[in-house]
Amino acid sequence: MSAVVDDDNSAEFHAFFERHHAELARLAHLLTGEADAADDLAADALLALWHRWDRVRQAEHPVAYARGVVANLARTRIRSAVRERRRVALFWSGRQERAEDPDVPAVVDVQGALRELPFRKRACVVLRHAFDLSEKDTALALGISVGTVKSQTSKGMAELEKRLGSGEREDPAPRRVRAVGATAEGWRR
């Protein structure tokens, strides 16, 4: 009996797929403006429908439900693209200052210490101190809370200080490690 029900569900879903895939792909294309992504979004929506097919087929308007799934997936894709564009814009909007005589060994030491930090701490430290972004802008760029930026930056700076060592110094003021800008090729001081 179970195999018959499964076959019926499969046949019913296959018929639904054949009737509505093209329409759902057009909807995805119109919502996102991305022809290449339209088939993927429609396929993702139909896969989600298949996983819930028992509930979907009992809905009053299964096609309306399917359209809602496509719309939600398209909204998620658009939001993700907007966040990514904001992150890129924030990353490259840093000042383009240049030091006359950079301390190359210090830059190499800082780069090495930064590579040893976990990604989130590294990203917070770099955005806050190398790009001079506010806590709010850093949070926006990374998609995290301002509180997380504060704690990760603090912990990251403490780890950097530990890794770079404080050394024996005459002045008791804390050492500030600061990179002024970055390029796609690497750090610039």
Q: What is the pLDDT along the chain (189 residues), one digit of tens a residue?
A: 455 556 777 888 999 989 989 989 998 898 888 888 889 999 999 999 998 888 888 777 888 788 888 888 988 888 888 888 777 777 666 545 555 666 556 656 777 777 788 888 888 888 888 778 889 888 887 888 999 999 999 999 998 888 887 644 444 444 444 444 444 444 443
pLDDT at 45: 92
pLDDT at 99: 57
pLDDT at 145: 93
pLDDT at 182: 45
pLDDT at 147: 96
pLDDT at 5: 55
Q: For the whole model, what pTM was predicted?
A: 0.45
pLDDT at 103: 59
pLDDT at 25: 92
Nearest-angstrom CA–CA distance, 132 and 137: 10
pLDDT at 188: 40
